[in-house]
Chains A and B, each alone.
Chain A
Amino acid sequence: MASEYLLELEDIEAGYGRAALVLRGLTVKVPPATVVCLVGPNGAGKSTVLKVASGMLTPRSGTIRVAGQDVTGFNPQKMLGAGLSHVLQGHSVFKEMSVEENVMLGAYSLTDRAEIAERVDFVKDLFPMVAERWKALAGALSGGQQKQVEFARSLMVRPQVVLLDEPSMGLDPKATAIVFEQVVRMRDAGTAVLLVEQNARRALETADLGCVLDLGRVHISGPASELLADPQLAELYLGGRPATPTTT
C-alpha cells in the first residue's frame, strides 16, 4: 500500500557509540512537496535526526521508510538511491573545485548523460546564481552562494526528500533570506524538505509543518503557523512573544 508520506521515521532510538541515547522513540513524517521544520534547544537531537535519515548514523531501533519502502540500516549511498539527499551543517562545498564540478558530483551516482544534462538545466533554472558562477571556484563564493551550490548539488539526483541541516548557519541576514527563499523554491519545484534550523522563528515562517524536539522526542508538532502563534512555545523555544499575524 502506498504511503501518504515520503519519509517516515518511526520510534527511532539512536546515539553515538556507547554513549547515552540522543533520540528516544522519535517519530517524524514528511508529506510530499512540504517543508517540515525541526526546531528545539541545543542537544535536542535535531541534527541527529538528519544523520539517521541519511544513513550516516544507524538507529539502534525503529523504522525508516521512504515512499513506503523500508530503508532502515541503509548506508548514505543506498539512501541516496532511495531518494534522500542530505545537505550538511556549515559549508560543505568542495572548495577547490569549480561550481560546475561541485554540481556534477551531485550526479556521481547517475550514469545516463541525457538525465544528467536535464538535471543540470533544472538546477541552473532553479538557482540562477549557480548558472552565473558556473566556472567559478566554489571556495571563492560567499557563504550564501556556497549554500546554493550545495542545494543545487543535492537536487542533481532528483531526490524525493532533501534534508537541510541549519542552512542559515554563519550567514548574514540578507544571505539567510535568500537561502530560505531557495528552500521554498525547492518545495514549489516538488521536493519535500526536512529542515533543521537554530533560527526557529525564521524556519517556522518558511515551513508548512513544524516539530518541536526536546530530549530526543517530538514534544509537539503541527502546522508551522500554529506553532508560531502558540504563546507557550514562543516563550519556551522561540525566544519571547508569539508571532503577530502579518498582512500583505
Chain B
Amino acid sequence: MSLLIQSIVLGLLLGGLYALLAAGLTLYFGVMRVVMIAHSAFLILAAYLAWFFSTETGLDPLLSLLVTVPLFFLIGVGMQRLLISRLRPATMTMMSVLLTFAIALTIEGLLGYVFTGTQRRVRLSYGGGDFEVFGANIAVVKLIAFGLAAVSLLVLYLVLTRTRFGQALRATIQHPEAARLVGINTDRIAGYGFGIGLATAAVGGTALSLDSTIYPSLHWHWIGPLMAIIVVGGLGSIPGAAIAAMVLGLGQSLLQIPLGTTWAQTFFYLALFATLMVRPQGFFGGRLAQRF
C-alpha cells in the first residue's frame, strides 16, 4: 500500500516538472507554430549551469536561477528574432524541427566539449533528506523541484491572464492576424513568448539538477515524453499541457511498479498514439491544433 502511495506522490511531483516544461514547449507552438526540439537541450544546459555554479561557488544551485532565467529569456528572444522569424511562414512548423534539432545537437556537442561526457551530480547538504507522508518516503529535493515548477507555473498563469502582455500573447496565439489589427506588435510578442518558453527550461533544468545525474545527451530522454504531453494536451494549450503532464506523469510512476522504469516510459508514447487515433486535436486544447 505504501508503495502505491509513494508512486502516486512521486508521479504527482514528477508531473509538476513535466507540466512546467511542457507549458514552455506548447508556448512556442502556440505563438509561432514552432516545434522546439531544442527545449530539452536547453533544460540540460540549465542543469549544467546550475551544477557548475554550485561546484564553483559552493552556493545553492537554486541561486543560479538569478542568472539563468534572464539569460535564457534573452537567448529565447534572440533566437526568435534572429533565427525563427527568418523561416518562411508556410513551412515554419516543418523547418523549425530541422533548425531546433540542429540547435539541440550543437548544445549537446558544446556541453560534451566543455564538461566532457562524464556524468555529473550536484552535491547538496540536504540532498539525502526525506520525510514520510502516509508511509511513503518523499525526498526533500523532489519536493523543492515540484515547488519550483508549481510556483513558476502559477507565475506563468498570472502573467498570461492578469497582464496586458499576457492578454496580447493569448490573442496572438488565438488569432495572429486579428491581433495585429487591434494594434498588437505580434513579432515582439512572439519574441517575448519564445523567451518565456526558454525561461521555463532554465527553471526546469535547475530543478532537475537537484535530483538527477546529468550528462550531455540526457535531453533525448526528455524530449519524447514532453512532445507526447503537448499533443495529448492539445497543441498550443498551456492548461492542456499542464493537465496532460500531471496525468501522464502519474501514469508513468504507477506503471513503474509492475513494468519497471524503461517500459513505464512507453506509457507516454502509447498515450500519444491513442490520442492521434482517437482525438488528434488533443484532449484539452483543441481549436488551435485543429487548424494545423
Contacts and interface: CB of A to CB of B under 8 A. Distances in A.
Nearest to B168: A108
Contacts of B178: 88, 92-94
A80 interface: yes
Contact of B180 (A76, A94, A106, A139): A76
Contact of B183 (A56, A80, A139): A80
A95 interface: yes
Interface of A: 54, 56, 76-77, 80-81, 85-86, 88, 92-97, 101, 104-106, 108-109, 139, 153, 157
Contacts of A81: 183
B167 interface: yes
Contacts of A105: 167-168, 171, 179, 182, 184
A45 to B, nearest CB: 19
Nearest to A104: B167
Given A96-B170, A101-B167, A76 B183 contact: yes
B279 interface: no
Interface of B: 164, 167-168, 170-171, 174-175, 177-185, 287
B170 A97 contact: yes
The SS class assigned to the B binding surface is: helix
Contacts of B177: 56, 88, 92
Contacts of A106: 182
Top 8 A-B pairs ranked by shortest CB distance? A109-B183, A92-B178, A94-B174, A108-B183, A80-B183, A76-B180, A86-B181, A108-B182
A85 B183 CA distance: 10
A136 to B, nearest CB: 16
Most buried by A among B164, B177, B180: B180
A109 B181 CA distance: 11
A157 B287 contact: no
B123 to A, nearest CB: 46
